[in-house]
Amino acid sequence: MPRYLAGRLAQALAVLWAAYTVVFVILHVLPSDPITLQLSAGGADISQLTPTQLHILKDRYGLDDPILTQYFHGLWNALHLDFGMSLTQNVTVGSLITDKVGSTLELTLVALPLMVIGGIGLAYLASYVQWRPARTLLARLPAVGVSLPQFFVGLLLIQAFSFSLHWFPATGEDGWRSLVLPAVTMSLLGAAMLAQLLIRSFADTWREPHIATARAKGLSRGTVQLRHVLRNASLPALTLLGILLGYTVTNAVVVESVFSRDGLGQLAQRAVLGQDVPLVQAIVLIAAAGFVVVNLLVDLLYTLLDPRVAAAARAG
Amino acid sequence: MTGPNATGPNATGPNATGPNATGPDNDVSASAVRPPGETLVELAGLSVGYRQHGRLVPAVDDLSLVVAAGETVAVVGESGSGKTTAANAILGLLPSNGVVTAGRITLAGNDVTGASDRVLRQLRGPFVGLVPQDPMVGLNPTMRIGAQVGEAVRRRGVDRRLVPAEVREALERAGVDQPAMRARQYPNELSGGLRQRVLIAIALAGHPRLIVADEPTSALDVTVQRRILDHLASLVRESGTALLIITHDLGVAADRADRVVVMRRGRIVEQGGPREILLHPREDYTRHLISVAPALSHAGGVVPRHTTTATPVSAPLLRLDGVGKDFRLPRGGESRTFTALDDVSLTVHAGQTLGLVGESGSGKTTALRIAMGLEPPTRGRVWLDGTDITGASWSTLRPLRRRFQLVHQNPYSSLDPHFTVGQSIAEPLVSFRVGDRASRAARVRELLDQVALPVSYADRRPAELSGGQRQRVAIARALALSPELVFLDEPVSALDVSVQDQILTLLARLQDELGVGYLFVSHDLAVVAALAHQVAVLRNGRIVESGPAATVLTAPAQAHTRELLDAVPGQRFAADLAGATVRPPGETAPGPDAAGSGAAVGPSLKSESGAAVGLKG
């Protein structure tokens, strides 16, 4: 097991390094002049600068150095969580992110259980209910959830629950009430995707031969579903859950702008629009790190839930 | 064939339970069939169908069957005969599209036809237990063994604190070693044989009056199969539980059942005691089943097809020379290795068959992979027609691959479901750029003809074919490049006995016609006997015995070979029969290799089986 763990950790670090490298290459090496890009992002026009001024500026941002030096310098700093100065705002990237990350984290932590409970709950019901019309209805529901765009769901919820019913505020970040609508919006797509996969998985598991063994013991449908079907059916959903969580920052971009929340998503959007290279780089790395950590957890969870994977892990 | 139960003329027969179950002579015939004990299960004129695309496809038609307390009944039939459907109907485990269209199911005196799952579930466990078909998939992979057996124990209302002890006892009774340790393990840590024992323990743990065993061992090696069936039979005898065995192998049924019921296409062909059925079968179909059960058709002996004891003089086509293979063991870290093969030397001659026999784990698959160049040996050399191919690279081996081909074990997974039969067969030709479109099509027709499939099958897809037909396609594909050597990896073990016989006959015919050499890997000596000129017996990675089939199979020198021979189903019955009818008083019971004493019964069985030839194909 320690070897398996070490292997997974090494993989995670390799993914992070690759993410940094890809972002660096795209932002620095692709044919667009990084100096112009960064200077104009900083509000300066390159044609009005004297060569001396240009040189001073380049020196300040380290743009004079050879590309490899810049790369390793940046990598070294990134390892120390130092992402440099933002080009558009006169503060460090680190302080900008620590400012905003809390709001997004809060949103995600509320949305995640909603997503898991909603997805599993719907699939569990759809698989358990015997009455055909209800069963069909429940089984079709996730397709609707998957096909609705997130911003549309958000606007719909605002219309219904803030403007008509006045239950929750439409925007802002003020207490738990302001978290409800964004969290529901954020979780809906994931829940629908999870449910879609799980309904299929439940049906497949019910047809497995070992279910016949369980039923032949004389166990009730409820017991069979809870003790024998649920765990086996959830295994394929675990991978999907990891992927869905990886999309947190992407989701936050949409949800935070619909509900005017000032989080990482909004920050990312502004950074891209303002061509704030260090900030974009940092946010991409954070998203990648989140993805990597979540999938590392999923891999470890697999070894807990599936003894076959655990056996392979011990062997590998 | 006409109605399965010839109802009228033969009043002497005990089998008239079919369509006329309510007829005037019902009392007579029923009393002949009905055994003395209390009736546990009674199926009366049962018909079951499956709803498919709005149509009702019949699976069981007018089935009448009685199982009494303490007796062992075997239902024998090929796949599609409706035997599993009948078993599921008794357990109340028909799939949701299964419908009882006529007749009655009575369990323990209660009519449960069309009863709800809630009612049926009360009977499962305490009244009827199931030993399912495939032990590899019959257990919940994410639950410990002890918990799975414990569910069946707790079902009886046993006090929670006593459950672990009862679980250990159930496991022990089912022949599981170290029950306390096994109870903590997961199914993936157990071998197939052990898993089947756990499934038996689960069925026993409910203390049922009846156990339904649905092809309980057909996924296992013959030796394991025999041990487990014997164990199950003895448990059932001790506890007075009734046993309903569902099987495609008449040999398995004959060895253990008090009563044999032969089914075909959802109907009962005939039923009676094993002696009546096997010695005086009334139906052609029963005779056919007898003729294909290896041991039954030869009165207890495994009789090799090729009787020459001479060693072939021609240069060998394939030669393994002192081959060994070590695998690094995952746990332990250091240089601990597992020797899968040790000093294995084999030769396959042109136009001849080498049968490589062994239980699972004996190293036969590793030997096959090394012979095909898929895996490098740790020691020794591999020669193909005088060329040393040991550790040859993919590109050096590639041109040689035309000369040797493989037929896989499982025809259900070895054909691409999206390819038509014609595309599958032509694929090797395309891959080696042989011929053009027209000549390939002609070759496909020729090959289909050789494996006795209609030419029109070229446009069908595997899903439309039966297992036997698929295996014919796989054979045609292997022959497409006219190889000199074909590797046969358990080519019939996934098939019904009757289909096995057809495929083996086909392989023998192709060898005669095309002069192709076979390396035939199998765990079943009876199957190997049908094809092999030479036999090598593998055990724990070493060859324990080898030589001409005629010698090894009739006069085995090693205990392990004898054990494998003894495991062939149907022998005990045939041997009993031979002992009872022929053996002069005072002579000891004939062993399986006592061909002399068996031969006297042979003709009666054999001549009848000969009449069934028309049914094959």
Q: Is B203 on the interface with A (CB under 8 A)?
A: yes
Contact B129 A216 (CB under 8 A): yes
Interchain CB contacts (distance < 8 Å): A and B: 89
- Between positions 302 and 341 of B, the ones with CB within 8 A of A are 330-331
A307: number of CA atoms within 13 Å, CB side?
14
**Is B124 near chain A, with CB under 8 Å?**
yes
Three-state DSSP state, A283: helix
Q: What is the pLDDT of residue B579?
A: 60
Contacts of residue B373, Cβ cutoff 8 Å, sequence gap at least 6: B382, B389, B392, B397, B400
- The pLDDT > 70 percentage for chain B reads 83
Q: Is-same-fold flag (B26-297; B316-411+484-567)? A: yes
A1 shares contact with chain B (CB less than 8 Å): no
Res. A201: pLDDT tops 90: yes
Amino acid at B76: V
pLDDT at B5 over 70: no
Q: How far is CA B335 from the centre of its chain?
A: 39
Over residues B170-221, the pLDDT tens digits come to: 998 888 888 998 899 999 888 888 888 899 999 988 889 999 998 877 667 7
**DSSP code per residue over B552-606:** HHHS--SHHHHHHHHTSTTHHHHHHHHHHHTPPTTPPPP-TT-HHHHHTTHHHHH
Does B537 have pLDDT greater than 90? yes
Mutate to test the interface with A, among B51, B88, B142 (most CBs of A within 10 A): B142
Q: Are strands B72-76 and B259-264 parallel, antiparallel or unpaired?
A: parallel
**What integer pLDDT is reported at residue B566 of this predicted model?**
82
Q: Token pair of A146, please?
A: 């998957």
| Contact indicator for B304, B561 with CB cutoff of 8 Å | no
| Nearest one of B96, B90, B100, B157 to B123, comparing CA atoms | B90
A193: nearest Cα among A259, A138, A244: A244
Mutate to test the interface with A, among B107, B121, B153, B167 (most CBs of A within 10 A): B121
Residues of B in Cβ contact (< 8 Å) with A231: 142-143
> Which helix (H) or strand (E) segment is B356 a member of?
strand B353-357
ipTM comes to: 0.77
Residue B58's identity, in one-letter code, is P
Contact present, A142 and A193 (Cβ < 8 Å): yes
Write out A145-186 in H/E/C secondary structure. HHHCCHHHHHHHHHHHHHHHCCCCCCCCCCCCHHHHHHHHHH
Which residues neighbour A117 within 8 Å (Cβ) at sequence distance 6 or greater? none
Residue-averaged pLDDT of chain B = 81
- How do residues B89-124 score in pLDDT, each as one tens digit? 888 888 888 889 999 999 888 888 878 888 888 888
Lowest model confidence (mean pLDDT) among A88-92, A235-239, B80-84, B524-528 = A88-92
- B98-107 sheet: strands from edge to edge: B55-68, B39-52, B98-107, B110-111
Contact (Cβ atoms closer than 8 angstroms) between residue B247 and residue B75: yes
Q: Band of the pLDDT at A39, cuts 50, 70, 90?
A: low
Q: A217 and B330: CB-CB below 8 Å?
A: no
Residues of A with CB below 8 A from B97's CB?
none
pLDDT at B591: 39
Contacts of residue B301, Cβ cutoff 8 Å, sequence gap at least 6: B295, B554, B592, B593, B594, B595, B598
CB A153 within 8 A of CB A147: no
Per-residue model confidence (pLDDT) at position B153: 92
Mean pLDDT of A43-57: 70
* A7 at B interface, C-beta within 8 A: no
Cα dihedral A9, A13, A19, A24, rounded to 10, equals 180
Q: What is the mean pLDDT of chain A?
A: 83
Q: Strand order of the sheet with strand B210-214?
A: B128-131, B210-214, B242-247, B72-76, B259-264, B267-272
Q: What is the crossing angle of helices B284-292 and B602-610, to 10°?
A: 120
- The minimal CB distance from B125 to the residues A218, A232, A314 is found for A218
Structure tokens at A192: 């629908």
| Mean pLDDT (whole number) for B30-55 | 76
How far apart are the C-alpha atoms of B589 and A281, rounded to whole Å? 86
Q: What is the pLDDT of residues B129-181, one digit of tens each?
A: 999 888 888 999 999 999 999 999 998 888 889 999 999 999 988 888 889 98
Looking at residue A44, its pLDDT comes to 61
Whether chain A has a CB inside 8 Å of the CB on B206: the answer is: yes
Q: Which residue of B has its CA nearest to A233?
A: B142
Q: Cα angle at A256 between A254 and A258, to 5 degrees?
A: 70
Q: Which residue(s) pair with B43 in the sheet?
A: B65, B105
What pLDDT is attached to residue A63? 65
Q: H/E/C letters for each residue in B110-154?
A: EECCCCCHHHHHHHECCCEEEECCCCCCCCCCCCCHHHHHHHHHH
Candidates 2.130.10.10, 3.90.1150.10, 3.40.50.300, 3.40.190.10; CATH matching B316-411+484-567: 3.40.50.300
Given this structure, which CATH class describes domain B26-297? alpha beta
Closest CA to B507 of B251, B210, B306, B279: B306
Q: Cβ contacts (< 8 Å) between A221 and chain B: which residues?
A: 117
> Per-residue pLDDT tens for A73-121?
888 888 877 877 777 777 888 888 888 888 888 888 899 999 999 999 9
Alpha helices in B332-406 (DSSP H): 364-371, 394-397
Q: CA dist A241 to A11, A115, A149, B101, B141, Å?
A: 19, 9, 19, 45, 22
Query: At A34, is the pLDDT very low, low, confident or very high (cuts 50, 70, 90)?
Result: low
Taking the C-alpha atoms of residue A67 and residue A61, their distance in angstroms, rounded to an integer, is 13
Of B129, B140, B206, the CB nearest to A210: B140
| Residue in A with minimal Cα distance to B205 | A217
**Binary contact (B117, A221; C-beta < 8 A):** yes
Q: Does residue B138 sit at the A interface (CB-CB below 8 Å)?
A: yes
For A215, which of B93, B118, B189 is closest by C-beta distance?
Answer: B93
Q: What is the DSSP letter of B310?
A: P
- Which tens digit of pLDDT belongs to each residue from B334-356? 557 778 889 999 999 988 999 99
CA-closest candidate to residue B38, choices B66, B9, B76, B16:
B66
Please enumerate in sequence order all residues whose Cβ is within 8 A of that of B3, keeping only pairs 6 or more positions apart, or say none.
Answer: B18, B19, B267
Please indicate if any CB of chain B lies within 8 Å of the CB of A304. no
Per residue in A122-143, pLDDT tens?
A: 999 998 888 889 888 998 889 8
Sheet holding B353-357, edge to edge: B404-407, B485-489, B517-522, B353-357, B534-539, B542-548
Q: How far is A308 from chain B (nearest CA, A)?
A: 6
Domain boundaries along the sequence of chain B? 26-297, 316-411+484-567
Bridge partners (DSSP) of residue B42 are: B66, B106
Answer yes or no: is pLDDT of A48 > 50.
Answer: yes
Q: How confident is the model at residue A35, as a pLDDT?
A: 61
For each of the domains in chain A, give its residue range(s) and CATH number, in order of start: 19-93 (no CATH), 97-315 (1.10.3720.10)
